[in-house]
Amino acid sequence: MKRTLLFLATLMGLAFNASAARIYVNLNATGNNSGTSWSNAYTSLANALNQAQSGDEIWVAQGTYLPGTTGRHSTFALKTFMHLYGGFNGTETLLEQRDPQAYPTILEGDLMGNDSGVLTYTNSTRSDNVYSVVTIDNVDGAEIDGFIIQGGNANSSVKGPERYGAGVYITGSNVADGTINATVRNCTIRYCTAVYSCAVQAKHYPSTSGDAMNVRYENLIVHDNQAEGNVFGGGGNTSDNSITYVVANCLIYNNTSSTGYVAVIDAQLSGSIEAYWVNNTIVNNNLGSTPAIGLGRYNSSATSEGYFYNNVFHNNGGGHEFDQHPGLAWGVSVFAFHNNMVENPDYTEATSHSGNIVDVPDFVNEATDDFRLTACSPGGEDGDTLFTGSGQAHLSFNYTGQTDALGSIRYFGSQVDMGAYERSFDTSIEVVASAGLLYANLSGSNITYQWFDCATGIPLPGETDDSLHVTANGSYYVEITEDSCLTARSACGEINTVSLIEKRASVVMDLFPNPVSDRLHISSQENIDQVTIVDISGCVVLKTGLNENYVDVSLLRPGVYILLAQEGDQVIAKGRFNRLP
């Protein structure tokens, strides 16, 4: 049996042919409609897809695009090794310059633009909507990235593809090398309805033994979709074939499934399905009495495996999050559930597997659908990047370069947070470099500090003051804890002058009186011939030679200051004092 883990490196990013082109689409372009530049961009994405060849890359500017003129079977159909990118303003020259949040690019399934009323596949105003907005049909290496996908309605009363995957439908039977790879990334899927799998569906019906389908859903926001069956779908294996699908860094909320689940993990005949759910937030889905995830297989010869790490489950109905699907006669073959947060204390998997938290997440603002964890919420840095526990031998996930559902670096700190987002912190604090030190411009009562190396994310032992005396050139950041709650995290500050300044940790220096109004006395066994005084923002406010054992600070404004004691150009000690009003 061919089992290809999508987390491992694949050839999906390689060009399919040597003549692969970049094609531009902008519905507001006024040029010759050739797609060769932004000024001459196609104004129709449907036309661009028809003209594109396998391996081409298509850049699409902001706006709303319809999939064609062939009625409900119209769809945005990707080709082999095609990369479809949205989120441009129509001037970019580099892919990383785009911003899908600032420049929304919408793939619209409502052909008449008349959707209204209750979001359900039986609503008559949705009778004109396409069955599937995006289709990846029997092609390998296709990727779609940076779009809002909406308005599909897979409502056929006849069993077939027209009742699955209203947002994105991925299917296939045979490709040249026996494997179908597909990626859906950085997309929002909303307002889609279906009999089954209203958001996405991956179905595999190969005729050759040992074929495989590998699908990755990454950094998706899936909300306000409706189905009679489940929201996510994957299955349909025939004998000795496999599907592996990954759901990572996704937010799935406010979807409705009247008789189904958020997702079903099932396998048929002697085929296999492996599902990996990593760092997702699954919240406020209306599932009636049904759990969030259904597990199982249609017969004892099939293999159905589910691996769940670092997810947040909250308020999904049904009283618990997982169950054997009632339509599947056999239970799941392998189940790993580690470092997840669930709120139902009766859910046995939360206590029988390692690292899980039975608690209620503290979101920034659940009422406005802001499902970032607050700085003090459970689940912060409670994930596991090593995937310890049963099933870890099957999983190789590299967090290097990963971002959360909002595009923030994942992870930032000693360990990854649970859920789709890294936690919300006060990032307004600055790190200011001055005289070989870094300063955090935040102070207060019950505050503690911890400095980190930006290159490694590892805390610096013993560096718990509001300033960092740097001993090696590099970039550093500080985390600030107030009343035992991590509340702020700075950006990185850089020091590149260590060759001029060396720390001598054995130097002892006392400052008195402290607080002080005029003369600040300095006591040390070392030869201190110069002092530099820096305010809390990192600005040098006084620099003077030291002929006596004191320095006059009477002209300084009231506040907190740092005194740097120097021997020549070397800072040999530092101390903090408070200038009285």
CB atoms < 10 A from the CB of 209, how many? 13
Cα(50)–Cα(204) distance, integer angstroms: 25
Q: Residue 274 is inside which H or E element, if any? A: strand 272-278
DSSP bridge pairs for 450: 479
DSSP 575: E
Task: Name, in order, each residue with C-beta under 8 angstroms of 75's C-beta and a sequence gap of 6 or more.
Answer: 67, 68, 130, 131, 132, 133, 134, 135, 169
Residue 580 carries which side chain, given as an amino acid letter?
L
**Are the beta carbons of 411 and 365 closer than 8 angstroms?**
no
Among residues 45, 74, 78, the alpha carbon closest in space to that of 61 is found at 45
pTM higher than 0.95: no
Q: Residue 51 is inside which H or E element, if any? A: helix 45-51
> What was the pLDDT predicted at 348?
57
Question: Which residue numbers in the chain have pLDDT < 70?
Answer: 1-19, 173-178, 204-210, 234-240, 260, 265-270, 296, 298-299, 318-331, 344-352, 388-397, 412-413, 424-430, 432-437, 441-446, 471, 483-484, 496-507, 537-538
Cα(526)–Cα(508) distance, integer angstroms: 8
Q: Residue 48 is inside which H or E element, if any? A: helix 45-51
* Tokens (6 digits) for 556: 């300084």
Query: Which residue bears the tokens 């006024």?
Result: 30
> What was the pLDDT predicted at 155?
94
> What was the pLDDT predicted at 3?
36
Query: Which residue bears the tokens 């633009």?
Result: 113
**Are the beta carbons of 213 and 238 closer than 8 angstroms?**
no
436 — alpha (psi -120 to 50), left (phi > 0) or beta?
left
> What was the pLDDT predicted at 5?
36
Q: How far is the CA of 367 from the CAs of 116, 364, 370, in angstroms?
A: 23, 9, 7
